[in-house]
Amino acid sequence: MQKSKRVLSLLLTLALCLGLLAISPITAHAGSVTADYTLYLNYSDGTLRKNNSSGEDITVAMAGAGAVVSGSADARVLTLTNFNFATTADDALWLPSGSTLVLSGTNTITTTDTSSSIALYMVGNSTITGDGSLVATGGTATGAGDASIGIAAGGLIISGGATVTATGGDDAGSIGIYINGYMSNLIIDSGSTVTATGNTRAINKNYTVPNGYKYTVSTNANGSSPTTGTSDGSFVIDGTYKYIKIDPVKYVGLFGLNTTYPSNFLNWFLFIVCFGFIWMWF
């Protein structure tokens, strides 16, 4: 009986240790959508429509392609799972104020419009989160005074380990991330990685890189001749930079895994606990 208990305890301990290993998630394959309209999230009823609140309801079709809506009227959540949307409209994806965009897998939002354009337009204060990635690419503005923008928001929080790339487009007036709220800012936290590119500037507002985050910045939109470093909380990205990349410092974790603080220390703590149990039993 005692031997059976030891075997069971050992199996449970090994299961705990295996839980520390990186396991590749199963990728759900969604679809790609090519359109001539803005994908519009109607805040009142949670439907996805063409161009505006009275446009054609395409919620079911978009869900099949990997864009699913949830949440309430004041806090809509749009989850993208391997969703690729390209349009010739001036705005590609429009989300109401207070929305949360959850990323799963690899996602792209693109507009090829040649007037002023925005790939992802998030009205008011909004959030991008999730463990997936998003590439938002603006069009190519050709008119005088026009601009193309990767992501525009009243205020924006990027969190949850999301990987976000915002490209303003090829025109001279392009901006990667545009924050249009007077008292609002861009906030990057929870181990997220953000890259922004624009021929005017990468971000339209000065941005202070959080303490412990790495930064790569360049006065060239193609990222050439970059300046790199790790912020102590005082490094400011201003209007001189046309390319920026911000990501958390990686630590070597258990079994060589790349982790971010403090998960690295949690990995080692759990490993020591597992080893201690095995040592006591044998």
**Token pair of 281 as six digits:** 């039993």
Contact between 274 and 16 (Cβ < 8 Å): yes
| 167 strand-pairing partners | 137, 197
Measured distance CA(50)–CA(88) in Å, rounded: 13
The residue among 158, 157, 178 whose CA lies nearest residue 167 is 178
Domain ranges in the chain are: 26-249, 251-282
What is the sign, positive or negative, of the torsion defined by CA atoms of 207, 226, 141, 48?
negative
**Token pair of 177 as six digits:** 């991330």
Q: Among all chains, which residue has been given the structure tokens 């911000």?
A: 246
**Residue-wise pLDDT tens for the chain (282 aa)?**
554 544 444 444 444 444 444 433 444 456 799 999 999 999 999 999 999 999 999 999 999 999 999 999 889 999 999 999 999 999 999 999 999 999 999 999 999 999 999 999 999 999 999 999 999 999 998 887 889 999 999 999 999 999 999 999 877 889 999 999 777 899 998 899 999 999 999 999 999 999 999 999 999 999 999 999 999 999 999 999 999 999 997 654 555 444 554 444 445 455 565 556 565 655
The residue among 110, 65, 51 whose CA lies nearest residue 86 is 110
